[in-house]
Amino acid sequence: MPIDSGGGGSDTSGDGEAPPTAAVPPTLSMLWQTTPVITTEMPATTGGGGDKAPAKAPTHPALTINVGTLADSMDLLRLSSADMVTQYESLKSLVLAADASHTVFGEQATYKDTIPKPRPNQYVDRRNPHEPTFFDPDDFGPVIKDDPGVRQAAEKFGPVMYPSMKNVLMECANAIELVGRYMVLMDRTGAYYAHADHASAFPGPTGKPIVDG
More confident residue, 25 or 203: 25
Residue 133's domain comprises 110-146
Can you tell me the distance from the alpha carbon of 154 to that of 171, in angstroms, rounded to the nearest whole number? Answer: 25
Q: Do residue 180 and residue 164 come from a single domain?
A: yes
Q: Are 169 and 92 in the same domain? A: yes
How many domains is the chain partitioned into structurally?
Answer: 2
Residue 4 lies in a domain: no
> What is the structure's pLDDT at 172?
95
Count of alpha carbons within 13 angstroms of residue 92, beta-carbon side: 18
Q: Are residues 159 and 192 in the same domain?
A: yes
The string of pLDDT tens digits covering residues 105-149 is: 999 888 888 766 666 555 555 555 555 554 445 555 678 888 889
160 plus 177 within the same structural domain: yes
Q: Are 142 and 159 in a shared domain?
A: no
Question: Element (H or E) spanning 130, and its range?
Answer: strand 128-133
Q: State whether 190 and 157 are in the same domain.
A: yes
pTM beyond 0.75: the answer is: no
Choose the weakest-confidence range: 10-24, 30-44, 99-113: 10-24
DSSP secondary structure of 12-34: -TTTTSPPPPPP-PPP---S-SS
pLDDT at 183 over 50: yes
Q: What is the mean pLDDT of the chain?
A: 80
